[in-house]
Amino acid sequence: MLTIKGHFDGNNVVLDEPAALTVGQPLRVIIETAPATSPDDTDEFIATASSSTGFWDNPLDDVDWNAL
């Protein structure tokens, strides 16, 4: 799944950042409105979740916990 920031211009949903999409590519669009005045916590949450996976992805854990 890909998360892209965007806005509604009154007629269309407009992407605020580039996306690697092909013309005619089917999409499933889920709308989650974001507060206009508060910071978007989604980016911070995704960055935190992504960075924490590296902690477990190392050869020492494999030896200690998986008896490899």
Taking residues 52-61, what's their average pLDDT?
Answer: 66
Q: Which residue has the higher pLDDT, 51 or 5?
A: 5
Per-residue pLDDT tens digits for 6-48: 889 999 999 998 888 899 999 888 888 877 665 566 677 777 7
Whole-model pTM: value is 0.44
Q: How far apart are CA 1 and CA 4, in angstroms?
A: 10
CA 59, 60, 66, 67 dihedral sign is positive
Side-chain half-sphere exposure of 15, counting CA atoms within 13 A: 9
pLDDT of residue 9: 93
pLDDT for 53 equals 65
